[in-house]
Amino acid sequence: MLIASKKRHRMRLVIPAFPAFNIYSYSSQRTTALGPVCIATTVNQMENWDAEVIDENNLRLYGPKSKTGGADHEFLHVIRPADIVGFYGGLTSTIPRLYELAKFYKKRGVITIAGGQHFVGENIKEALYSDIDYVVIGEGEETIRELIEGLEGKRNIDEIKGIAYIKNGNIIQTPTREPITDFEKLPLPDFSLVRYARIENYPVERIRGCGMNCEFCTVKGSPRCASVERLFERISFLVETRAAKRFFIIDDLFGQQREETIRFCYMLRDYQKRIHKRLDVGVQIRLDKAKDTEMLSAMRQAGINFVAIGFESPIREELKAMNKHLNPEEMIALTSIFRKFGFLIHGMFIFGYPVQEGVNFKMPIKERIKQYKDFIRKCKIDTIQILLPGPLPGTEFRERLKKKNRLYPLKDIGWEYYDGSFPLFEPDEPLTAEELQKAQKEIMGNFYQFKYMFMIAFNIFSFPSIIFFLNNIKVGWRRWYRPWRNDLVRFGGWMTMRKWTTEFKKNTFQEKLNKAKECIRK
């Protein structure tokens, strides 16, 4: 329980650091997770409470960094002691760091709370036996307020929905809380609560949930939508209070409410005209939305320049296993429409996805790699992300592999390896775990190369010639910018890959993989 005599209390929300440098490290230094900001904002509005967010992956503004990585929590605990520390468990690979920090604060008498998509099933028990006092299950804005009131003695903790804790040696899990549907009652996320971070790309949302029901995804349920006015208010508030220019709408599928989406785009277009400022917006969107040219036009007018698309695979059998309903030929044709509208396309792929039981499909590793390279080239995708299949907690994919005893044991391949860079289960024949990992790097390495450094210089010197030849600055800029930008990103990607490879060489993963394989075969 909290000390009732204190005049003010503090809650610290911690986003744990990645276990090692990975392909997300660069972008994570320029943004933050939205969930912890929403929780901190709720707490900060409670009477006698202050809240802050420490994003260990974004400590660019005088952040107190630890020599071993992440933040210096010894320093933070001295200068700003917290009564409660909450931990963001939205990324499974950061869970070991989360438990390490929970132990640190628990020893100092601080109440520890954790929440996020990792905490389902047996993982709830794991957390409660790893120095976490309370696990918040599901969305946390309403639960955290009630839990704090319970810790203040104003409410019976046993009656709070959506939490788990240990009482008298037994694990108590209260009834599930209904998902939030009235988003208007929630406060606007306050990004000023994120200390030490330099945020260049602001995450915003309108829709929670996704009805696509992909086997490998943790986001389920019918979409629950806030009003487009609410999303517009989030963006305009950040523009006017934090001079924000770049945004990423984190809805799993942008455009789920077609008419409302188009209306939002026109609102954002008119707003930019009024303030004489051009915004840069990115979204996640389904590939088949390319068929809706009216929506694509509205998106471009709104300043939506970047689309992240889950292609997942160019192999028919793998697409079927994922519950995807497109074939490779359709995917190439639809991608060309996005390109014609001028969108920068980020393609997300999963390499080596296992097919469903009973499907007779075997493809050699070289043929798989070739199909990926050919598909990416034909689609003319601007940037790519190749991940290995991640059997995340709470997914049907994990349960399918678990039933067939194909998952590598956590004692050998722990949660820290669940970032899409490592093989986590026995792959389909004739593939091996080592081949999957090498193939991932080969495809990425083929796309992101050192040679693009020279292309950057060439594009810079060619700019005046293009403008002179076309005799139109606006058209010339459009013709020149995309190749220059892509060459810059691809060279940057090469540098990221180089650092990533260096981290792999330091890792003892192969030894652990060998032990895990032996355990599976027994």
Q: Spell out the domains of the chain, with CATH numbers in brackets.
A: 9-173 (3.40.50.280), 200-438 (3.20.20.70), 448-522 (no CATH)
Distance in angstroms (rounded) separating the CA atoms of residues 359 and 255: 34
pLDDT digits (tens, 9 = 90+) for 22-36: 777 888 999 999 999
pLDDT digits (tens, 9 = 90+) for 268-291: 999 999 999 999 999 999 999 999
pLDDT of 473 above 80: no
The pLDDT value recorded for residue 462 is 66
- Chain-wide mean pLDDT for the chain? 91
Contact of 46 with 145, CB cutoff 8 Å? yes
Task: Locate 384 and state its tokens.
Answer: 């790519």
Q: Name the strands in the sheet holding 9-15, side by side, starting at the edge strand that comes first in the sequence.
A: 170-173, 163-167, 134-136, 111-115, 84-88, 9-15, 49-55, 194-195
pLDDT of 499 above 80: no
pLDDT digits (tens, 9 = 90+) for 324-380: 878 899 999 999 999 999 999 999 999 999 988 888 888 999 999 999 999 999 999
pTM: 0.93
Distance in angstroms (rounded) separating the CA atoms of residues 158 and 150: 9
Contact of 272 with 306, CB cutoff 8 Å? no
How large is the average pLDDT for residues 86-111?
Answer: 97
| Of 499 and 283, more confident | 283
The pLDDT value recorded for residue 193 is 98
Residue 504's pLDDT band (cuts 50, 70, 90): low
pLDDT of 475 above 60: no
The pLDDT value recorded for residue 357 is 83
- Percent pLDDT > 70 in the chain is 93
Distance in angstroms (rounded) separating the CA atoms of residues 121 and 218: 13
The pLDDT value recorded for residue 137 is 97
The pLDDT value recorded for residue 97 is 97
Q: What is the DSSP string of 206-221?
A: SEE--SS--TT-S--S
Contact of 433 with 493, CB cutoff 8 Å? no
Distance in angstroms (rounded) separating the CA atoms of residues 270 and 278: 11
Written as one letter, the residue type at 246 is R
How large is the average pLDDT for residues 420-429?
Answer: 93
pLDDT digits (tens, 9 = 90+) for 198-238: 999 999 999 998 877 888 888 888 899 999 999 999 999 99
Residue 514 neighbours by CB distance under 10 Å: 12
pLDDT digits (tens, 9 = 90+) for 282-322: 999 999 999 999 999 999 999 999 999 999 999 988 888 88
How large is the average pLDDT for residues 374-403?
Answer: 95
Ranges assigned E (strand) in 159-269: 163-167, 170-173, 194-195, 201-204, 207-208, 224-225, 246-249
Angstrom CA distances, 131 to 84, 127, 169, 174, stand at 13, 7, 14, 19
